[in-house]
Amino acid sequence: MARIPYPEFAPDFDMPTPIYGSPHDATLLNVFRVLGHSPALLTAVADIGHTQLTEGQLTDTERELVILAGGRCFGADYVWAQHEQLGARFGLSPDQLTALHEQHHTADCFNGPQRDLLAFVSAVAATARVEDALFQRVREHHGDRGIVEIIALIGVYFLVSRITTTLDVEIDSRELDSVLSAAGHPQD
């Protein structure tokens, strides 16, 4: 059980995007339920998450690499549980998922740009400044827009991680197929 109760939502409150569920039935993901204590914050986090999912430059696989690696760096079982199946759906192999879970970011199952991306995630998560050579390699592969989106994604998942770890938010049992469907991703 979460360390604080999930709030009741005002009858007229609607999520800015339906991909995370509805606050008026049992479909809203728990991290958004607890964020309901601050409806404006919930709306902002939902908006940025939706933007990162649907309008970001990163491929689906790259986005899930960043989220899963960041979630592990921040010790967030909730993030791992919510995104492990998405990572598999978007092309991460079982070996890659195992390496990510074990934080073995230099494993042979990752190609060079993926290893650089994972090193970048770890550096951003742990330090105030990424060393120049790594920064340049990631910038060459992803460009300036990509660098900004990667850092923002790490930041959002730091927020999600700390909300879920500090408040002991329960891992959702909801299948994420409905999230993908609502976001316009085709189902397998």
The secondary structure of the chain in percent helix, strand, coil, rounded to multiples of 5, reads: 60, 0, 40
pLDDT at 188 over 50: no
Task: For residues 59 and 57, give the distance between their C-alpha atoms in angstroms, rounded to a whole number.
Answer: 6
- Residue 178 token pair: 């409905």
Among 14-23, 69-78, 91-100, 124-133, the range scoring the smallest mean pLDDT is: 14-23
Neighbours of 172 (CB within 10 A): 18
The mean of the pLDDT values for the chain is: 93
HSE-up (13 A, CA, CB side) for residue 149: 23
